[in-house]
Amino acid sequence: MGKSQSRLDTPVIVSIDFGTTFTGYAFTFSSKPASIYTNLGDVREPTCILLDSEQNFVAFGKQAVEMYNDLSPDVKTDYYFFNNFKMALYEPTIGRGTHRGSKVDEEFKEFLITLFGSKVLKEYQEKHTEEFFDLFRKFDVKKKSFSTDTREVTIPFDYDLVTLIKKVTGKQVHEAIALYLGSVKFQEHGRKLVLDQHTMAGFFEPTINVVIGKVRHILDVCKEDLISTLMLAGGFSESPYLREKLVSAFPKLQIIVPDEPSLAVVKGALLMGLEPKNVIQRRAQYSYGFDVSETFDPDIHPDSLKAERDGEAYCKHISDKQITKGQILTHQQVFVRKTTDVLKMTESKQMKLSAAVFRSDLETPRYCTEDGCELVGVVTMTPPPEGWPDVPNVEHQLIVGETELKIRVVDRTTGSEYESTMDFL
């Protein structure tokens, strides 16, 4: 999206939200930034990708579904088809991650497996791929209209699914669901699976409970901020049932749902592409710092972290925290650590130096080996031909970007710079 470029340098700005079930996009022209074009409703692309036998890209979205569906059974085994995957991309929205409407879809899918068996769903997806996705698109529509006032929900089945259930299980649909009569029924006319309110609500409960727990945690952690408003964004926020549950759980909060909430993520990313610096502040979700060593003190440091270099004892994996969890960060804010390492031996002067960055759930971690700490990035520097000086003039930097942290290591002697970026600020 041309993060570091100005609006005039980038004629078209594009943003993509890779959702687990569907993928949304938006774009605009720099010359007319007020006009934003998006994909809506049935125009959304299913998050599917088709690769050939060499694992080269063939198609994405609806085109991938259609092409895979049209392949003959003997050819399909030469292709790789992936669907309902979540790309490992950073999403700058609190409480998203796994707390999404796609989890409701997964609960529905597990319920179908309980009713008809995994073999039915597997074969239906493999042999009737397009119809399989159409079934979940129809469920998605029902999901977005379901509320506490909904008495029952009907899900249309196509002829191929009904036939497949009979072929694999040896039972008609109404026979296969016999154990669940009262909560589930099947209307032969129109081939509709009918779910009662309690059954449909059960698909939502695991996700909604996590969302409510997450909001309660945020309110507890941010007591001083006096939060009074909860704004919902993303496709799941279109659910009346979710909103009703949130209103019930947080009666003192004002719940706001913007127009076209499912497009809030892509539109927000688009605006950030137009004006990268308009995201002025953000709160750090973790503590960040450098993994360093210092002279070993037996009264303070554990023996398990003791190491030797140049004939001296050091304690390794000490946390040199730069950013505290919950701290307010500004765009392009820089945190600097100047190295104090002393290199005496010839071997030490020829070794590579590295800047290792950790993150932690703790506000003030002491060691990088503690629970909740993990290594998230390393930048390595090669020594100059003559080797490092006794005290290398090297500076480690953490730089706050728009949606990421950048690690930069600068050799002040040679002017060399090394960088790496972490996309999960």
Q: Which segments of 306-414 are extended strands (E)?
A: 306-309, 312-323, 328-330, 334-338, 353-360, 373-381, 394-400, 405-411
Per this entry, what is the length of the chain? 425
CATH 2.60.34.10 segments of the chain: 282-422
Q: How far apart are CA 406 and CA 120, in angstroms?
A: 48
Identify whether the C-beta of residue 15 lies closer than 8 Å to the C-beta of residue 27. yes
For residue 425, what pLDDT is reported? 52
For residue 410, what pLDDT is reported? 86
For residue 424, what pLDDT is reported? 54
95 closest CA partner among 180, 211, 205, 239: 211
CATH number of 282-422: 2.60.34.10
Q: How far apart are CA 50 and CA 21, in angstroms?
A: 15
Neighbours of 121 (CB within 10 A): 20
For residue 345, what pLDDT is reported? 75
For residue 94, what pLDDT is reported? 44
**b (16+ CB within 10 A) / e for 62-89:** bebbebbbeeeeeeeeebebebbeeeee
Query: Facing residues of 36 across strands?
Result: 28
For residue 40, what pLDDT is reported? 64
Q: How far apart are CA 365 and CA 374, in angstroms?
A: 11
The tokens 């939200």 sit on which residue? Answer: 17
Q: Using DSSP, state whether 408 is helix, strand or coil.
A: strand
Q: How far apart are CA 240 and CA 246, in angstroms?
A: 10
Q: Using DSSP, state whether 76 is helix, strand or coil.
A: helix
Identify whether the C-beta of residue 215 lies closer than 8 Å to the C-beta of residue 246. yes
Q: How far apart are CA 127 and CA 163, in angstroms?
A: 13
Q: Mind listing the pLDDT tens digit of every residue in the chain (425 residues)?
A: 444 444 456 788 888 887 777 788 889 888 888 888 887 655 678 888 999 999 999 999 889 988 998 888 888 889 999 886 655 443 444 443 445 567 899 999 999 999 999 999 999 988 898 899 899 989 988 999 999 999 999 999 999 999 999 999 999 999 999 988 889 999 998 899 999 999 999 999 999 999 999 999 889 888 888 899 999 988 888 899 999 999 999 999 999 988 878 788 888 888 777 765 655 678 888 999 999 988 999 999 999 999 988 788 999 999 999 999 989 988 889 999 887 677 777 787 888 888 899 999 999 999 999 999 999 888 888 888 888 887 778 888 999 887 788 898 888 877 888 888 776 55
For residue 299, what pLDDT is reported? 94
Q: Using DSSP, state whether 123 is helix, strand or coil.
A: helix
Identify whether the C-beta of residue 415 lies closer than 8 Å to the C-beta of residue 346. no
Identify whether the C-beta of residue 317 lies closer than 8 Å to the C-beta of residue 358. no
Q: Which segments of 69-151 are extended strands (E)?
A: 80-83
For residue 121, what pLDDT is reported? 94
Neighbours of 301 (CB within 10 A): 20
Q: Record the tokens describing residue 14, joined without a space.
A: 């594009």
In this structure, what are the phi and psi dihedrals at residue 294, rounded to the nearest 5 degrees?
-145, 165
In this structure, what are the phi and psi dihedrals at residue 158, rounded to the nearest 5 degrees?
-90, 170
For residue 122, what pLDDT is reported? 93
Residue 36 has what DSSP assignment? Answer: E
H-helix or E-strand spanning residue 27: strand 22-29
Q: What angle do CA 145, 99, 321 make, to 5 degrees?
A: 155
DSSP structure string for 178-247:
GGGTTTEEEETTTTEEEEEHHHHHHHHHHHHHHHHHHHHHHHHHTGGG---EEE--SGGGG-HHHHHHHH
For residue 324, what pLDDT is reported? 94
Q: Using DSSP, state whether 90 is helix, strand or coil.
A: coil
Q: Using DSSP, state whether 318 is helix, strand or coil.
A: strand
Q: How far apart are CA 410 and CA 146, in angstroms?
A: 56
